[in-house]
């Protein structure tokens, strides 16, 4: 009778000890991977800022235009092809010519900097569709600077477009620093969207983006005219600008990098800005003489924190502004239309994507949230150690009972 009771007690204690051990190990030793978007968008061309580990380690330059290659940033257009001859040159904004028809709807694609917090948790409809990541939760995980997000607000070239196809005040993650099975920036730290950066490892910061034109014909490479701005302290800026004063709000243009010379597309004052403002992200719609800011042209842009045009609003660096040739510069998209606007929030890369329904586009292109658990090597060792320890404890606790049963 006592032997039976002792046997049941040992089994009960084993369950009590083993189950918590397994749960503990699985909770801390697995890596949760998100799932790729239903329709991944291609990684745009991009740049890193001068504080990025990839730049600090001389893997790439802050004057180089990058493309991702096998999960790593690679130089697609070297800075020298844009007449940026010194490593201290920093590309601060980048755009191809994004021709879009008046009245056509689109969503904004944007990247944020290391100080951005965000204001909006993921949209409820997107959560229901398993699209669970956005700028706020990536900032909470301390890894937002290497991402690209999609606005859930629709726009036309006149501003926000309000109808049932548009959901205001939010965004979703579409390109991560890490390869979730779709596209990526290959940015440090190389952490999945569902994981945190608890050690606060240094972040590569996606500083500008531009969509590469589709190749024309088999093996062909479409000529890429690039519009870009430089930080005001970039040493090559003075030689490339024809604006009189050196300014980080001057937009430069190169019709064919590596072949043509870089010249000025628009001076800061043509955009309604001062010499001490600094463009931080932009989309150029150049419908007139290509490479010249003239009638019909429009530039959507964000400004770096500290730019006088931003005024005293602490979240205004996440606003998007619009400059049309011959018209006053105005707010195009307030920060809250994109789930941003907290003090210190800053959009530092801009792009657009034609889209008829913002929620549908977010569900189609957003990184999904169902996780794929994988056990790391240290996690496996911890599991073995804990299970052995639990077994030893059980044996020691019940050794006297076994002896009694034998007698």
Could you give the CA distance from residue 177 to residue 349 in angstroms, rounded to a whole number? 14
Determine which of 206-220, 227-241, 351-365 has the lowest per-residue pLDDT on average.
206-220
Question: Other C-beta atoms within 10 Å of 305: how many?
Answer: 18
Residue 233's CB: how many other CB atoms inside 10 A? Answer: 13
Strand pairing class (251-254; 263-266): antiparallel
Residue 224 corresponds to which tokens in the numbers above?
């890429």
| Mean pLDDT along residues 46-65 | 96
Q: What is the pLDDT of residues 326-352, one digit of tens each?
A: 999 999 999 999 999 999 999 999 999
Q: What pLDDT, on the 0 to 100 scale, is given for residue 182? A: 79
Contacts 24+ apart (CB under 8 A), 52-58: 52/187, 52/188, 52/202, 52/203, 52/204, 52/205, 52/207, 53/188, 53/202, 53/203, 53/204, 54/187, 54/188, 54/204, 56/202
The full set of domain ranges for the chain reads 2-31+377-406, 37-213+222-366
Percent of the chain with pLDDT over 90: 72
Inter-residue contact 278 to 301 (CB < 8 Å) = no
């Amino acid at each position: 009778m006592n032997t039976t009771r002792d046997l049941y007690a040992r089994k009960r204690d084993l369950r009590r000890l083993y189950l918590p051990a397994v749960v503990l190990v699985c909770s801390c030793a697995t890596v949760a991977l998100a799932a790729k978007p239903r329709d991944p968008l291609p990684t745009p061309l991009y740049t890193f800022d001068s504080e990025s580990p990839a730049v600090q380690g001389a893997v790439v330059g802050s004057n180089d235009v990058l493309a991702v290659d096998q999960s790593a940033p690679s130089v697609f257009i070297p800075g020298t092809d844009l007449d940026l001859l010194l490593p201290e040159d920093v590309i601060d904004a980048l755009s191809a010519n994004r021709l879009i028809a008046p009245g056509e709807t689109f969503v904004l694609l944007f990247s944020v900097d290391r100080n951005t917090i965000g204001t909006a948790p993921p949209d409820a409809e997107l959560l229901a569709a398993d699209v669970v990541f956005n700028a706020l939760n990536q900032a909470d995980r301390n890894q937002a600077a290497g991402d690209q997000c999609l606005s859930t607000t629709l726009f036309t070239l006149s501003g926000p477009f309000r109808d049932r196809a548009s959901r205001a005040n939010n965004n979703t993650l579409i390109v991560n620093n890490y390869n979730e099975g779709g596209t990526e920036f290959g940015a440090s730290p190389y952490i999945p969207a569902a994981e945190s950066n608890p050690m606060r490892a240094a972040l590569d910061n996606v500083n500008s983006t531009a969509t590469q034109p589709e190749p024309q014909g088999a093996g062909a490479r479409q000529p890429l005219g690039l519009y870009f701005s430089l930080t005001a302290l970039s040493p090559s800026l003075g030689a490339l600008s024809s604006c009189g004063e050196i300014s980080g709000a001057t937009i430069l243009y190169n019709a064919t990098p590596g072949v043509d010379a870089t010249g000025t597309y628009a001076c800061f004052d043509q955009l309604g800005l001062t010499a001490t403002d600094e463009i931080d992200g932009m989309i150029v719609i150049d419908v007139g003489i290509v490479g010249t800011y003239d009638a019909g042209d429009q530039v959507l842009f964000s400004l770096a924190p500290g730019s006088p045009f931003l005024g005293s609003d602490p979240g205004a660096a996440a606003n998007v502004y619009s400059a049309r040739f011959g018209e006053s510069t105005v707010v195009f998209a307030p920060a809250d239309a994109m789930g941003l606007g907290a003090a210190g929030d800053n959009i530092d890369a801009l792009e657009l994507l034609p889209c008829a329904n913002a929620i549908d586009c977010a569900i189609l292109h957003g990184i999904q949230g169902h996780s794929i658990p994988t056990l790391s090597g240290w996690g496996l060792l911890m599991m073995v150690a804990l299970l052995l320890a639990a077994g030893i404890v059980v044996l020691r606790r019940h050794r006297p009972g076994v002896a009694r049963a034998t007698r």
